[in-house]
Amino acid sequence: MKTSEIFDALLANLKVGEAVATIASRRDEIAKTLNKEFRSKDGCTDHKLMVGSFGRHTAINGVSDLDMIFILPPGIRSNYDGETGPRRILNRVRDDLNARYPNTDIRVDQCVVRVQFTSNSFKFEVQPAFENADGSFDYPDTKASRWKITKPREEIAATKECNDSTSTNMRHLARMARAWKNTNGVNMGGLLIDTLVHKFFAQTNDYDSAGTSSFDLMARDFFEFLKNEPEQGYYLALGSRQHVHVKAKFQPKARKAYNRCLKAIEDEGKAAANQTWREVFGSSVPLARSASKASRSFSDTEEFIEDKYPIDISETVSIDCEVTQDGWRPTRLRNMLRTGAPLRSDKNLKFWVTDCSVEEPYTLKWKVLNRGQEAERRNMVRGQIVESRRPGTIAEHSDFKGEHVVECYVVKDGIVVARDRIDVPISNTSLNPRGRGSAA
């Protein structure tokens, strides 16, 4: 496929699409409920502002977290002064929405009222706020027991200005960056992504009018920019210049993405390029025509987590693998990968979660994918998404050669909030689940 065809399809697949109507309906129902309570108006959908990625028009298909400001009547501001004011206003909003949605999980979460719609996995975070004369908002913070200032309109305006000056490429790249984040488990907030994309375009005009035929180079240069960013605790958000915190290092995974971009560019026009772009941006990248299901001689059993759950990476999970064999000292796979030590046949492999920032309860899912000609010849591609047989672990046994992948997903409230992946480059083996017998 041509580069333009790959990226045209990617962008089309990343559009929010049909969910927009459902989001708008939920948004308006919330506004009606709160306007009836605070303004005694029936059916009024005014006094709301969608903010966050959806408000900046940089959200992608599968978006689950939706940020909404409900603008409070200025006449009640004095009623919520003092340390108890923030909690009282949030509790009032929570109670009003509970009356409207009695079977929905609704709770106060520091600065917002979280409304979790289980039917479509949308989570609205409703922030009651007073509008100031300069267009900023005072919002409640129960942890600080005071009102703080947010300036989302300035962030929305800065996004639009940059998007207009780059022939809409700012929003295209911001959506691509979200696809990379969700595919590779990069714990970055949407405002940080948009701020970094904005910063990237501020230091180059090479792609201000670029078409999708140059998006391979734009992606390469963006990830080069990211991997070279100095480690720091926060950035100044685009437009508002307010602090946006860095939750986890993104540079190592940006470096991997940069190297994959180099490989995909080198393989331009080959089926391998599509597969490599998929490793960067996920299954929204189309397979090459030669790799279509109709032309395969093996069963395509691979499943994709995004077909089962919405993905919004907001936490971090890390996995490793213990490699053991009778008579040999146990070794960690990531250490072997770092030193270049080969992984050979007849090894027991135990993958487990080494660290997870997600608060329990949650569910772990795993995927073991065999790659290469031998896996296809033996019809042992696998790739199904399964649960752990034992808490936090999955056991495998090597069997035949290939470049294999093991992924772990953390699912909470019906959303994948963290994921990690480890490559398993086996010199003369492949993976076979322990206890299922040999794949040979």
CATH class of the domain whose range is 296-433: mainly beta
Residue 251: φ, ψ to 5°: -60, -45
- One digit per residue, the tens of pLDDT, for the chain of length 440 reads 999 999 999 999 999 988 899 999 999 999 999 999 999 999 999 999 999 999 999 999 988 899 999 999 999 999 999 999 999 999 999 999 999 999 999 999 999 999 998 776 789 999 999 999 999 999 999 999 999 999 999 999 999 999 999 999 999 999 999 999 999 999 999 999 999 999 999 999 999 999 999 999 999 999 999 999 999 999 999 999 999 999 999 999 999 999 999 999 999 999 999 999 999 999 999 998 754 454 567 888 899 999 999 899 999 999 999 998 776 788 899 988 888 887 776 788 999 999 999 999 999 999 999 887 878 888 888 999 999 878 889 988 766 666 789 999 999 988 999 999 998 887 765 566 654 432 22
**Does domain 14-150 fall into CATH 3.30.460.10?**
yes
Which pTM value belongs to this model? 0.90
Helices 215-227 + 251-266 axis angle, to 10? 150
Give the C-alpha separation, 289 to 291, whole Å: 5
pLDDT of residue 437: 32
Handedness of CA 406, 383, 65, 276 (dihedral sign): positive
Q: At which residue do the structure tokens 């034992």 appear?
A: 390
> What are the start-end ranges of the E strands in 100-246?
105-109, 112-117, 122-131, 137-141, 146-150, 234-236, 243-245
3-state secondary structure of 410: strand
Secondary structure (DSSP) of 89-134:
HHHHHHHHHHHH-TTSEEEEETTEEEEEETTTTEEEEEEEEEEPTT
The count of other CB atoms within 10 Å of the CB of residue 243 is 10
The closest alpha carbon to 184, from 309, 71, 281, belongs to: 281
The reported pLDDT for the residue numbered 143 is 96
Please report, for the chain, the start and end positions of each structural domain, with discontinuous segments joined by +.
Answer: 14-150, 155-257, 296-433
